[in-house]
Amino acid sequence: MYQRTVLIVEDEILIRMLLADTLLDEGYDVIEAGSVLEAIAILGQRKVDAVVTDVDMPGGLSGFDLAQMISDTRMNVPIIIASGRHRPRPDELPGDAIFVAKPYGLDAITTMVAGMISSERQRLAS
């Protein structure tokens, strides 16, 4: 059975570790990135089933930039964008990205990831 892979893009190590541990406990394979550039490199090398990214990231590129790049390349990867500072309108989000305000509940994120992966899998099967 294929293990679904989630890429977490978060520069705050404790948040990233906590989210990674939670998703691992739910049975996902988890890849971690501390910047958008690191995430882009991973996306070029690995199949990823969902991305959870923070907005404010080091290196000059934001989570919005990452989501736009994923959307532009039509990778068909569900994206959750999280921030404690930004509150974008749905029409400001790239592709089918979903926004979640920080602080978020880990149960809410795992439920969203599961739903997004399931929806994408159903869409690709039809």
97: which DSSP letter? -
Pair 24, 8: CB distance under 8 Å: no
40: which DSSP letter? H
Provide the pLDDT for residue 90: 83
Most confident of 6-20, 89-103, 110-124: 6-20
Q: Is the pLDDT of residue 126 over 70?
A: no
Quote the pTM value: 0.92
Across the chain, mean pLDDT equals 92
- The confidence band for 125, taking pLDDT boundaries of 50, 70 and 90, is low
Angle at which helices 63-72 and 36-45 pack, to 10 degrees?
30
Provide the pLDDT for residue 76: 85
The domain 5-125 belongs to what CATH superfamily? Answer: Response regulator (3.40.50.2300)
Pair 80, 113: CB distance under 8 Å: yes
Peptide bond into 103 cis (omega under 30): yes
Q: How many CA atoms lie within 13 A of 34 on its CB side?
A: 4
- Give the sheet arrangement for strand 79-83, strand by strand: 29-33, 5-9, 50-54, 79-83, 98-101
- The pLDDT tens digits for 70-112 are 999 977 899 999 999 999 988 889 888 999 999 999 999 999 9
